[in-house]
Amino acid sequence: MDRETRDMLLETADRFFTDRCGREIVNNVEKGAWPAELWQAIEEMGLPHIAVPEEKGGSGGTMADMLALLRLAGSHAVPVPLAETALANLLIAAAGGEPKAGPATLALGALSLSGRRVTGRVERVPFAMVADRFVTVAGDKLAVVGKGGARCEATPSHAGEPYGTVTLDGTAVEFVGDAPVSAERAVELAAVMRAMQMAGAADKVLAIAVEYSKQRVQFGRPISTFQAIQHMLAELASCVAATIASAEAAARDADEGGLVDGGRFSIAAAKSQASEFAHRIAAISHQSMGAMGFTHEHVLHHYTRRLWVWRRDFGSESFWGEKIGSACAKAGPQALWASMTASRYAQPA
């Protein structure tokens, strides 16, 4: 979709998330309540199918449209698998299938496919306990497994979301097709998805901390005038800016470079950057707000706890840092600077 249409969509989605994804909804999800009405409304808006071609029942948007929406969702701590479902639907459509309604998630790990049956075990699958379908890439095939054939063990995330361990034991698939991407690339796409959500959440954390510092009065003046608080917020702002810049660059490169391998180096850098700064962003924001930021009644924890969880999802900073280091070492010292500056799509050979 063109820029004007995307802006209109994001503006509409922003109003919707503001009205429908308040503190009570997020807290209820963390208590185990599935927000069926919220998910139904999200589906009626077509958001989980934003990057699916129109001929397959989607909105006909691009990967850039999807990632921009997911950054917005991250800024509202949307407590449903919108990100996972949107990417799963994109992959299903690219594999020649037609995405169905209902929440889906990504089970990316050591799974094997024999004929039309999948075997393996994947831990920490996001929203595993509420997903209708699990999408995976095994070898050169993309497979979709229904929840009825999967054994799920609940392992809630630190943010209280219904993560789980998924075990498949020769489970029959609902759909199998030629994988549009490799298993490694599927993880990369999931990583840039998370990086954009982290960028949205980090931006919201900064806004919350700055606003609180203006309103909180101590010794007769706002704490925003205290030098110690100003230093905290300055460091927080720099961490957030780096997280956003790297995520946006990766999203741009992934979209312009193509589904198969666009922006591989940018994605690794973005997820490594976002994951590395997640802890610092959470720590500074809570410290600057004192005891208030640690209370369950305040919304800050909706974002900081998700940053902690998303930091590990689809590769931590160590995972992606190792990949970057290995690629640079393999290419040799002469290739490092040239590969980083020659093109936005460049990566060490």
The DSSP code sequence of 25-56 is HHHHHHTT---HHHHHHHHHTTGGGTTS-GGG
**Who has greater pLDDT, 40 or 110?**
40
Q: What is the dihedral of CA 100, 104, 108, 111, to 10 degrees?
A: -60
What integer pLDDT is reported at residue 342 of this predicted model? 61
**Who has greater pLDDT, 192 or 345?**
192
The whole-number average pLDDT for the span 166-185 is 96
- State the pLDDT confidence band at 175, using cuts at 50, 70 and 90: very high
Mean per-residue pLDDT over the chain, rounded: 93
Q: What tens digit of pLDDT does each residue of 277-306 get?
A: 999 999 999 999 987 777 888 899 999 999
Q: For CATH 1.10.540.10, list the domain ranges present in the chain.
A: 3-178
Bridge partners of 171, per DSSP, are: 118
* C-beta neighbour count of 167 within 10 angstroms: 15
End-to-end CA distance of the chain: 33
What integer pLDDT is reported at residue 290 of this predicted model? 85
**Distance separating alpha carbons of residues 119 and 129, to the nearest angstrom:** 19
- Side-chain-side CA neighbours of 291 within 13 Å: the count stands at 0
Question: Does the pLDDT at position 150 exceed 50?
Answer: yes
Question: Does the pLDDT at position 163 exceed 50?
Answer: yes
**Distance separating alpha carbons of residues 113 and 110, to the nearest angstrom:** 10
| Phi and psi torsions of 252, nearest 5° | -65, -45
Q: Nearest-CA neighbor of 141 among 103, 82, 84, 186?
A: 186
Tokens found for residue 270: 């973005």
- Tell me, which fold does domain 183-341 have in CATH? Butyryl-CoA Dehydrogenase, subunit A; domain 3 (1.20.140)
What integer pLDDT is reported at residue 349 of this predicted model? 44
Q: What tens digit of pLDDT does each residue of 13-23 get?
A: 999 999 999 99
What integer pLDDT is reported at residue 337 of this predicted model? 80
Question: Does the pLDDT at position 346 exceed 70?
Answer: no
Bridge partners of 221, per DSSP, are: 218
Q: E strands, 87-163, where?
A: 104-106, 111-114, 117-125, 133-138, 141-146, 151-154
Question: Does the pLDDT at position 35 exceed 80?
Answer: yes
Q: Nearest-CA neighbor of 267 among 335, 199, 337, 332?
A: 199
Look up residue 317 and give its amino acid.
E
The whole-number average pLDDT for the span 132-136 is 97
**Distance separating alpha carbons of residues 172 and 184, to the nearest angstrom:** 23
Tell me the chain's radius of gyration from C-alpha atoms: 20
Question: Does the pLDDT at position 340 exceed 70?
Answer: no
Q: What tens digit of pLDDT does each residue of 221-275 get?
A: 998 999 999 999 999 999 999 999 999 999 999 999 999 999 999 999 999 999 9
In terms of CATH, what superfamily is 3-178? Acyl-CoA dehydrogenase/oxidase, N-terminal domain (1.10.540.10)
Q: For CATH 1.20.140.10, list the domain ranges present in the chain.
A: 183-341
Q: In whole angstroms, how far apart are CA 28 and each of 31, 41, 90, 279?
A: 5, 17, 29, 25
Question: Does the pLDDT at position 114 exceed 70?
Answer: yes
